[in-house]
Structure formats: structure tokens, C-alpha cells
Amino acid sequence: MNPQPVAMITGAAGGIGGETAVRFAERGYDCVLLALPSEDLNPITKRIEDAGRQYIICTGDLADLEYAESAVEQCISAWGRIDVLVNNAAWREITTMRKIELASWEQTLRVCLTAPAFLSRWCAAHMEARGEGVIINVSSIQSQMAAGISPAYVAAKGALDSLTYELATLYGPAGIRVLSVNPGAIDTAMGQDIAVDQQATATKIRQASEDMIPLRRWAHPREIAHSIVMLAGEDASYLTGTSVTIDGGWKQQCSPYSVKQ
């Protein structure tokens, strides 16, 4: 068995996923990186090497559950353990319920909900055998705050929070903690993809959201990664079955009086 703890991260080439993998490596974890075949993981693997840790790369589409299961098998056959699973990958289309195609709805649910559910099951089977493990689902404040622009995504994220509580209840007696994190506005490709073809609008949306966020800025993805790794560690040993909002105070901000003048 691998002497070092092992963290599996989906969406590892993305903003939050990449920073999370690097942070785990800096904390002594070897990493299993799941990404789409088209993505460049070199900047992330270089930083993992700089931290002196090892990695395994498994590429594929998470909508394909056979691929997802094979990633878990690859990790176990190489290292014999999995300590942390971070269900981070997500896909969304900016659209409305008036227009969304069934194929887009189903793809969103497969990537954002079904893959996390089954990856959790397959990883938890190995965690149960060792009597410990942590599963962290990267949800969104959009699971609780509607914007009217991504119906399948918000439905999947709401369900992902509910799944978190369900799995925490099921696996808690086996020593496995399950949490979700709910990021607010984060400076990544996904954070920036609102109205990408209408730059003026995207800039306006960003400015308006920053004016409402008490910390008055979007987060760097590293700030979410640090919280995820903290929640996976011993300092959070009694935390399970709950969602942790990481949004610079945005969600609690409903008074027009506090908007920047």
C-alpha cells in the first residue's frame, strides 16, 4: 500500500480542481487526477512534482460511468488506498428552462450528480475497508440562490447537497466523512463563462456581483482549494453531513443598503 495518503480529484485541469490537487500535494498527498482527454494537465503535474509528490492521470468523460469506475480501479491497483475523493468537475449550459434541450439537461445531471454519486460509492467501498476516508462534493451557492440561467446545473447542485447529507448518514458509522462546499463567485473559466460572447455584459455582471459581496471581490480558486484541503484534514475531524459556504459573505447579503454606493 502507498505510504502516503491519496486524494482523487475530478476536474483536475480546471481552476478549483487544479489548485486543490496542488494543495493536497503540498500537504503530502499523492494525487489521482481526472480530466477530459483534451485538457492540459502539465501546469498542475509540474507543481505536484515540485511538491515532491506522485500523480496518476486518468482521462475521460465523467458522463461515462465505466470510465469513472476504471479510474477508481486504477488508483487502487497502483496505490491500494484512497483517502479523499473530491467531486469537483462540473458542466453547465447558460440557458433557461424555456430553451434547454433534454440532452443538455441529462449531460449536466450525469456530470454534476450521477458521476459524484457513483464515484462516492466506489471510493467509499475502499474507504470502508480501512475505516476512514473523506468525500467532498463541490456544490455551489447556486444550489440555494437562483439566477434563472442554468436550470439543470442548479437542480444538480441542490441534489448534490442532499446527496452529501444522505452519504454522510450512510457512511458515518464506517468512519467516512462527507461534506459539500458551496463556492460563490470564483475566478475560473466557469466563473467567467456568463455571457462570454457579450463582454460588456460579462463585465457588468462581475462588477454588480462584486458590489454585493461583502469582501468586494471574486475568490481566487486557490482560496476554495485551501478550504477543501482543510475540510479533508484532521482539523475538521467532527465535521460531516453539512455544506460549507465559501462566498465572501455573498449568500447572506440581501439588503440593498449594504450594496457598495
Q: Which residues bind ligand NAD (CB under 6 A)?
A: 11, 13-17, 36, 39, 61-63, 88-91, 111, 138, 140, 183, 185-186, 188-191, 221
User: Based on CB atoms, which residue is closest to ligand NAD, 14 or 133?
Assistant: 14
> At closest approach, how far in Å is the CB of 89 from ligand NAD?
4
Residue type, 103: A
**Parallel/antiparallel/unpaired status of strands 30-35 and 6-9:** parallel
Q: Which helix (H) or strand (E) holds 115?
A: helix 115-130
> At closest approach, how far in Å is the CB of 61 from ligand NAD?
4
Q: Please give the DSSP secondary-structure letter assigned to residue 235.
A: G
Cα 121 to Cα 34, 114, 145, 176, 256: the distances in Å are 17, 11, 28, 12, 43
Residue type, 147: A
> At closest approach, how far in Å is the CB of 212 from ligand NAD?
14
Residue whose C-alpha cell is 477508481: 72
User: Based on CB atoms, which residue is closest to ligand NAD, 81 or 155?
Assistant: 155
User: Based on CB atoms, which residue is closest to ligand NAD, 88 or 164?
Assistant: 88
User: Based on CB atoms, which residue is closest to ligand NAD, 26 or 187?
Assistant: 187
Contact, 74 vs 6, CB < 8 A? no
Give the residue nearest to ligand NAD (CB): 14
> At closest approach, how far in Å is the CB of 103 from ligand NAD?
13
Strand partners for 30: 6
Q: Which helix (H) or strand (E) holds 202?
A: helix 199-212
User: Based on CB atoms, which residue is closest to ligand NAD, 45 or 88?
Assistant: 88
> At closest approach, how far in Å is the CB of 107 from ligand NAD?
7
Give residues with Cβ within 8 angstroms of 212, minimum separation 6. 250, 253, 259, 260
> At closest approach, how far in Å is the CB of 124 from ligand NAD?
19
User: Based on CB atoms, which residue is closest to ligand NAD, 33 or 76?
Assistant: 33
The beta strand positions in 100-230, using DSSP E, are: 133-138, 176-183
SS3 of 184, please?
A: coil
